[in-house]
Structure 1
């Protein structure tokens, strides 16, 4: 499985199927924001990362322009990454409570993180065509990650992609909902973006409750 995931990740990194996204992530990497002006941006599509024997699969929307697109790892180097690492550490899924750089020593336990789209999209809004172009990577990951029993979807786009992945009918999206099918258990959560965490739409207790539920499900 390790060789398979490494082979897939090499294909993801060089993907240029979506001209708009390929151009955007390069532009962001070149024209940096002031706070990161002295850093070298990764500026390429991102593969997933984590424990390839994981029972929990976490699916996000896409890398952040100045988070994952800068650091080279999903949910790393921004506020969303801070929320993800902290809660995963609290519930035993991560070795450390922070996610700052690709080489910071963060190791995931029984969890694998991926996304519906592998390039940061403008305004965090990928087109339908871009999502479809990226879907094959998610399918390959599913084939490789054979121990997955539970999927945690961060946001509606991630949920829709997951329902398509497992050929199940999507239900009304909401926070901390659980849908049980013959093939998979799906949990939905609001995305830990600043738009949600700084407005109170997603509180820390609500966020932690989702991972507490996921922890119970992967143990059963």
Structure 2
């Protein structure tokens, strides 16, 4: 007998399972990015990002803040991904582009340009002419969190977006992970995307380099650790511009973007 059961309603962006129900069905990065930008699954993050967008910082009083989740940025055929932590309150949350409009992004894009992976050394706003060459920049949490600290629950809720993004990057050969939080968040996302992880799981460190084996459907994947280009890390000298450039240059080589 034919079933007369009504189809399930589409997921509501405010439901906590919106990422888990929506991400797997996205067939391309354009669709995925649009879905990410509608997400309201984490009430604390929604409240914070919208509050920041209303209040603004005095230096950006004339800006119309993005105030929504920030999708990844870069081409669909990227062979290298750079994974950070989350958008900055007055950076990506303001501009709508990952790592754009804050000190961390200033250093990252200058380094990408120095290695030949970005068309210009600055990233100020969408439409500024920046083009990434074979690189996709993203994060495990897509909303700006209070004090730059997402909770583990927020990270886990957001994970399906990153897992699907990684699976859609079919030519991906290397990932640079900026900071320990990003490293810990990336590993289960890689598993969800179908990659095999060694046991015990690899530990984060600046200069870490782990190779995940390939199979019939995908190439081996190189994971490279790098300290996050946060203001504190740069101010204390824990991460210098040459250190960041060295990691990105190594990543460009193993991903086939340079020789």
- Cα distance in 2 for partners of 1:16, 1:22 equals 6
SS at match of 1:41: coil
- Cα distance in 1 for partners of 2:248, 2:254 equals 10
**CA distances 1:30-54 after superposition (whole Å, capped 9, x unpaired):** 1111111121110000110102101
- Cα distance in 2 for partners of 1:28, 1:170 equals 37
SS at match of 2:81: strand
8 Å Cα contact 2:95/2:101 also seen in 1: yes
Q: Does 1:197 align with 2:234?
A: yes
SS at match of 1:192: coil
Number of residue pairs matched by the alignment: 219
TM-score by length of 1: 0.96
Unmatched 5+ stretches in structure 1? none
Displaced runs of 4+ in structure 1, greater than 3 A? none
1:1-220 correspondence runs (5 A) = 4-167=28-191, 168=197, 169-183=200-214, 184-219=221-256
CA RMSD of aligned residues (A): 1.4
8 Å Cα contact 2:85/2:182 also seen in 1: yes
8 Å Cα contact 1:160/1:170 also seen in 2: no
Unmatched 5+ stretches in structure 2? 1-25, 192-196, 215-220
**Structure (1 or 2) with the larger CA radius of gyration:** 2
TM-score by length of 2: 0.82
- Cα distance in 2 for partners of 1:137, 1:205 equals 32
